[in-house]
Amino acid sequence: MDTQAPIVRYRSLPYFHSLTAKLCHIFSEIDELKVAKYNFITGKSVFTRLKDKIPPSLTSDCIYSVPCLDCEGVYIGQTSQTIKRRITLHKSDVRLRPDRCALALHSSQQGHRFDFDNVGILDVAGSYQKRIFLEMVHINNNSNSINKKTDVSRLSCIYSYLLSNHFR
């Protein structure tokens, strides 16, 4: 006669001082069930965020957007520098080199101003290649982008098709 050993099942319960002990006592009567207790209060839930959040102006290695104050247009760019430094360069380009980038060109040709106080961080990526790709994706997906079309020329038509269908 072949007797098969019962299959033992293991379960875990969050530990509450008196409740868990009572439940474990009830479940101890079931031979095929073993109960483990775990602490639902973790170190992560007890301690607050120890590091201060980096202010947007000091963020680097990111893709950012600068809205136009006079139209629905938005400039999307990428930088390895801090946003504060990059915005300073954009302001300089608007004043001194209006053909340097699409932002300065839009400001020069349209007479529009940009809201440099409300720069948005769209993505963060340490790798230059990732930033270039993400910049192209954000430009492609934003219908109000004033960026030059050459800014997305290296975006594969396959990616472009998939992204345009996904973000509709």
Per-residue pLDDT reduced to its tens digit, 126-156? 999 899 888 988 888 888 999 987 766 666 6
The band of 6, judged by pLDDT with boundaries at 50, 70 and 90, is confident
Per-residue pLDDT reduced to its tens digit, 53-99? 888 899 999 999 999 999 999 999 999 999 999 999 999 999 999 88
Structure tokens at 164: 């345009």
Domain residue limits, the chain: 9-44, 56-166
pLDDT value of position 141: 85
- What CA–CA distance (Å, rounded) separates 107 from 90? 11
Residue 19 has pLDDT above 70, yes or no: yes
Q: Is the dihedral of CA 152, 155, 156, 158 positive or negative?
A: negative
Exposure string over 121-137, b if 16+ CB within 10 A, otherwise e = ebbebeeeeebbbbbbb
pLDDT (average), residues 24-44:
84
Q: If you average pLDDT over each of 8-17, 18-27, 31-40, 79-88, which comes out highest? A: 79-88
